[in-house]
Structure 1
């Protein structure tokens, strides 16, 4: 590690951090433009072949940015997409983003530092930064917005220029340092470790907007909520939000190990994908899948789901539109199995159902998630943590859907369990919420 990183790990003051030089290069998990096209004609697009861990140049800091020394990060499916160069190479995103202004132009490089989650310590602030100082412990929202766009001030996700940090921008979180806009920053929950804090922003924020926010499905007490992929990062937070909101969580998983995991999170009904005829690609007859799924849900709950929590996409969407009740809501934030969906529109229009598109979370919604973590109503979905040197292996675990919850990555933190600055709160929450 460089002297600045060593000082961060040692826990020196912000004033001392400001006296140390920022390194010219830093270690990061990154993609290389020269690898684009390498998976052409290849069936198994193994991300371990394209995620490299090594030095990259340190960029100049813009006036509205901070430099965060990253203590921990996490793997999200957008890193898998990036490393497979699908649906298009993310270098295309960087080139598009670079057209905005000279600061955005820094992002168009022959390397792409990936990663859309992070916790860490502010070590430098841009000339226009007011609220943050060197030494602050922060978590990073994955949504980067244009604060000068009027739409941002109603809802950051409606800003036409908003992008996913570390996916559609460079200098993301799977690294020793990250470049972050001030509109992405929130205080780190003091009772969480670095890796626990880093696990939450993308998936917990996305699930909150989908289910709880007035911009999503507006879940209420007693709602039956069908959650596809309930044992994954998004699903693990969705289960907790449904449980905490007085709903009935119905989780779909792919193994008994995952079933036990989601039961522990509070999932009242658990269904194996194979039981309803889903074992891989999109089914030939999604209505038949929907009928089998509906029978199971009614047998367990007595009614059809009010809400379907969708992020799988092509393999499940047709069944989702069918199985949700008359007047119910399918809320979708992604398509990990494919973007092109087929469904029978009669069941949508004639039964007055709704489909809501949801993407990320604005900073207010992220702050609401932080509060839920602070009061113990939500817990980090972290189940395993890798060192940065093994970031490619961590991403492969997610690519293979062999993980539970969130997969963490230690960046500068030398080991797990560090970063707790309020141990009393941690102990109090453990006593008050023993199931967590």
Structure 2
């Protein structure tokens, strides 16, 4: 996995406790170049924004030190002083310098480097996500292009690029995902009976989510089902148990290999074929097409091709069932061409669509949305359960060959995602689509 290939514009090695490996994490191990003026402007903006938010800031006495309690701000209520999440800056100079050079990418890399921490990481990130439009003064938002990086061309989700992008995340290690997912190995939002959720409810909630998607698609005995994005095979297994004949496609070799073993162990190998294939390479017509949280990896440039492929793969009377993460349309437009911390380190090449974009692109391809239901609170709970399992066993992560910088990156990714749903910045939706003009009943 190539975690960073940007040119070395470093000045010095940084990082509390053990420093990041400069070969594996070049942009974390070394501070970026940033002018004193740019850093000072970043400090002014960041400090001004943070003092307006319901959180506290503490400054440590250097890397790894115990932070000094912050003095309460004038007029700060006791409840805020006592219970608000705290941002502890171990290295304020490095923190502001990274933000001055790289914006929110720098914010994430500063966490990976150990230059800041929080006593409530999800709470802190939820505050920031809730007030995302207030962090930068309105006149300065027009200058976003001066610090926001453009997405690298190498991350475009062409057929070859999509293979590389998927492998950089999903081929990390099956054992890594096994550490924090439930036994169904389902890496998408669950659907719980009650919230808040308990760990022992996760597998049943994942099955409930899958079953509702299969119901939306009308999957039953004899259904010819195409799944775009295999994961580790749980949806294909449950569809085959209903009597469907399943073709499921993936670009991840690691997932394909484990999915084949799990399908064989479930006794449904005769009903399920797993192929390494891009959605643009699939042929044939299917009674049902299901795709779970895969559209986020497609990229806006290729949404027309994606929905056109879905329409072309449907047999007469067929249904498409999608599960998709969404964000508000204005936020989607603001980030569409921006290289973010998530796109650099976690999900290269993708973009979370808005509900408006889903409706527009599906309609242009000749598909009508006949069911649309959101359940973002359930994703927040799913992510919480994953994050708690991940952070509870750092030794197991280390044993797989992932270092401390990776652990901090993955913890921030899970917490950042959870915060997005808790702040209602993100949602997750299940949709049913049918060919324009059809009644939407489809085969049963």
Task: Report the TM-score, using the length of structure 1 for normalisation.
Answer: 0.35
Look at both structures and tell me which one has the larger radius of gyration over its CA atoms: 2
Higher share of residues assigned helix: 2
Task: Report the TM-score, using the length of structure 2 for normalisation.
Answer: 0.35
